[in-house]
Structures are given as structure tokens and as C-alpha cells.
Amino acid sequence: GAGVSQTPSNKVTEKGKYVELRCDPISGHTALYWYRQSLGQGPEFLIYFQGTGAADDSGLPNDRFFAVRPEGSVSTLKIQRTERGDSAVYLCASSQGARNNEQFFGPGTRLTVL
């Protein structure tokens, strides 16, 4: 079956602009995670959804970052007033539940802020 998909695969924007990154999880997966991977680093946790609600948003770096999952499936990560330091690969993962279940990762969206 289809895996986790993320769109766009690449996004180039200018400093100060607003961007949205989309994640389509595996069908039926209730848990969805966002991570950010900067160059030369491992992925860092941003936010986790169980169903429609954010169960843990402790990794969001500041209030410019926001994520939604209104129907418990597709999620959108929104970044306001982008800064050059936001440039990274944003990874999405989903799992059937949380805890003991494997997280399946999408290919990521590479965000470049000029």
C-alpha cells in the first residue's frame, strides 16, 4: 500500500514569507509526527498528533510554527515569517497507534529560506 507522502518535495521561499507543508499519513494510522532535520543533524521532534489533537507540541521552536490535523488524517505544518534558520528537511511519520508501534517516515520536504 501507499506509504507516507509529503508535499511539496522542495520549497524555496523568501525570508518573512508564510509556508505550508503537507503530510498524508498511511491510511488508518491514528498517530502522526513531525520532525525537522537540519544539515548534518539527526531528526528533531516537533509535534505529535493522536487523532485530531496535538498530544505533544513541546518540540515546536517558537510561536511561528503551528500544525493542524483537522480530520485526523492529513496534517499541515505552517510556518509564519520564515527565517533562514528554518531551512531544513521537514519529516512526517505516522503509526497505527503510539508507543509500541513503528513510525513510518515520509521522504520529507526540503525547505530553503533565502
Partner 1 sequence: AQSVTQLGSHVSVSEGALVLLRCNYSSSVPPYLFWYVQYPNQGLQLLLKYTTGATLVKGINGFEAEFKKSETSFHLTKPSAHMSDAAEYFCAVRKSSGDKLTFGTGTRLAVRP
DSSP-assigned letter for residue 59: T
The overall longest dimension of the chain from CA atoms, in Å, is 40
Per rule CB under 8 A, is residue 12 in the interface with partner 1? Answer: no
**Three cell numbers written together for 69:** 490535523
> Residue 74, class by beta-carbon neighbours within 10 Å (0-12 exposed, 13-18 middle, 19+ buried)?
middle
Kindly tell me which residue out of 24, 29, 48, 79 binds partner 1, with binding defined by CB under 8 A: 48
Residues 78-107 that bind partner 1 (CB under 8 A): 91, 93, 98-100, 102-107
Select 14 or 39, whichever has its Cβ closest to partner 1: 39
Least distance to partner 1, CB of residue 16, Å: 28
104 closest CA partner among 8, 7, 1, 21: 1
Instruction: List interacting residues with partner 1 (CB under 8 A).
Output: 3-4, 31, 33, 35, 40-45, 48, 55-56, 59, 91, 93, 98-100, 102-108
